[in-house]
């Protein structure tokens, strides 16, 4: 009887140990899956998505959007091996990602050599314009440490605009957190119709920054789909 009881007890112990190991493995896998989700989506959105299947969209009335683009990237990329090109882009964008964390902003996406970031969502941020401006100035400094095959520093155009957007996750495959609305289009135009090495901001953003930052009036610029808009160059933070 003693031997039988001992065997039974050992069997129970083994079952319990196996269950503990299985539960630990399951917990680790769940944590890994959640971390992967957080690498793709902002935490509040990831939490909503776990509870709710379907379209997740929300309007934000006060945000500032930044678009940045590496100048002459196509001809530069033709002189680099694909792996070298991807490695360089990874280094540049990783540097920008650290700035996103530093200024408590939200990276939206990269498209080729373009980088998009927003302030003021998914959680409201009173200093959304100021934080974006600070990051933009830092980006223009950081990009100089990266050199083209000819040994010249990479250069960027940056555009900034403030307003309202709809943000959310749509689709069921390879979903991303994205932004929609006229504010996005104008921010993109601020970049594409800017100048090399400059940070162009709209008049709306200028009004939010003028107390803290030095800005120079560029004048009226023809913006596709919007007509003429008064824009400004962001020069630096006021002393």
User: In angstroms, rounded to a whole number, what is the distance separating the alpha carbons of residues 201 and 217?
Assistant: 10
> Is there a single domain that holds both residue 26 and residue 141?
no
Q: Residue 219: which domain range?
A: 56-237
User: For residue 57, what are the CA distances in angstroms to 15, 49, 51?
Assistant: 46, 11, 14
Lookup: tokens for 8: 């039974």
Q: What is the mean pLDDT of residues 153-165?
A: 95
> Is there a single domain that holds both residue 229 and residue 121?
yes
> Most confidently modeled of 15-19, 40-44, 123-127?
123-127
Specify if 84 maps to a domain.
Answer: yes
Q: 114 or 37: which carries more pLDDT confidence?
A: 114
* DSSP at 107: E
Name the domain count of the chain: 2
Q: 8 or 106: which carries more pLDDT confidence?
A: 106
What pLDDT score was predicted for residue 3? 59
Q: Are 50 and 40 in contact (CB under 8 A)?
A: no
What pLDDT score was predicted for residue 74? 84
User: For residue 187, what are the CA distances in angstroms to 25, 190, 194?
Assistant: 45, 5, 11
Q: 3 or 184: which carries more pLDDT confidence?
A: 184
Lookup: tokens for 207: 């009004």
Dihedral of CA atoms 99, 100, 105, 109 in degrees, nearest 10, equals 150
Tens digit of pLDDT for each residue in 30-55? 666 566 556 667 677 767 666 666 66
> Is there a single domain that holds both residue 104 and residue 80?
yes
């Amino acid at each position: 009887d003693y031997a039988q009881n001992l065997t039974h007890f050992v069997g129970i112990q083994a079952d319990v140990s196996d269950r503990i190991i299985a539960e630990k493995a399951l917990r680790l896998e769940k944590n890994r899956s959640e971390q992967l989700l957080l690498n793709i989506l902002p935490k509040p959105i990831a939490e909503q998505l776990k509870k709710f299947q379907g379209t997740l969209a929300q309007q934000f009335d006060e945000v500032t959007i930044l678009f940045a683009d590496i100048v002459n990237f196509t001809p530069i990329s033709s002189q680099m091996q694909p792996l070298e090109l991807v490695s360089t882009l990874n280094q540049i964008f990783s540097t920008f990602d650290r700035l996103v964390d530093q200024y408590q902003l939200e990276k939206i996406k990269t498209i080729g050599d373009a980088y998009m970031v927003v302030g003021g969502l998914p959680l409201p941020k009173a200093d959304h314009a100021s934080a974006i401006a600070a990051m933009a100035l830092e980006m223009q400094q950081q990009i100089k440490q990266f050199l083209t095959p000819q040994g010249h520093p990479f250069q960027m155009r940056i555009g900034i605009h403030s307003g309202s957007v709809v943000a959310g996750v749509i689709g069921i495959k390879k979903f991303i957190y994205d932004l929609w609305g006229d504010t996005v289009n104008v921010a993109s135009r601020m970049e594409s119709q800017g100048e090399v090495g400059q940070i162009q901001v709209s008049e709306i953003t200028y009004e939010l920054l003028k107390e803290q930052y030095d800005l120079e009036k560029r004048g009226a610029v023809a913006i596709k789909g919007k007509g003429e808009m008064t824009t400004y160059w962001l020069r630096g933070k006021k002393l």
